Amino acid sequence: MMMPKFNLAPSICIFAASLILVGCAGVQTSRHSYSDSYKANEPVKAEGCYDASVLLTKGIRESADISAKVLAAVDSTVSERTESQIKAQRNRHIGLLIGSGGEELTIELKASPRGTFVTVATKTGFVGGAGQKAWSCQIVDQIVAMASK
């Protein structure tokens, strides 16, 4: 008896394409840039909250320290820190159905005439993408709250 032949190539291509489209979102680095129109300590947020920024009236070192504390508060581990950039990853957690965490967070700090311009970008990954979320808006809000104390 002869077995029928099945062409799996179209099914595999559709499956792979859907994983790519669903799995990754966000930005690796912020698209925001400094402008004199920014008001101090007022966050600017992109749609979806993968990208946000704020002008702080603090120096770059103090702004970096505040940013690092906020990253720790949202359960992140800093993987790289320089004077002008902090890279971190949210710690992974296992939920009821889907794992969460693992988002890559990038904070960039630039000295400006009126303080420090801070940008925050969230990049969600392929693995666990369904359980991940954008953190940039929440992080910028917490940076502003700490800087205003």
Stretch 45-72: mean pLDDT, rounded? 96
pLDDT digits (tens, 9 = 90+) for 98-132: 556 788 999 999 999 999 999 999 998 765 456 68
CA atoms of 149 and 134, how far apart (whole Å): 25
Q: How confident is the model at residue 17 (pLDDT cuts 50, 70, 90)?
A: very low
Is the distance from CB of 84 to CB of 59 less than 8 angstroms? no
Lowest mean pLDDT among 4-8, 66-70, 90-94: 4-8
Confidence label for 13 from pLDDT (cuts 50, 70 and 90) = very low
Best CA proximity match to 115, nearest among 45, 38, 44: 38
Q: State the pLDDT at residue 91.
A: 87
Q: Does domain 24-147 have CATH number 2.60.410.10?
A: no
Helices then strands, each counted (H, E), the chain = 3, 9
- Interhelix angle for 60-73 vs 136-147, to 10°? 120
Q: What is the mean pLDDT of the chain?
A: 83
C-beta separation of 30 from 120 below 8 A: yes
For 6, the 3-state DSSP assignment is coil
Chain center to CA of 20: 18
The continuous run of DSSP H or E covering 40 comes out as: none
What are the sequence ranges of the domains in the chain? 24-147
Which tens digit of pLDDT belongs to each residue from 70-103? 999 999 999 999 999 999 999 876 665 555 678 8
Neighbours of 100 (CB within 10 A): 16
* CA–CA distance, 93 with 6 (Å, rounded to integer): 40
pTM: 0.77
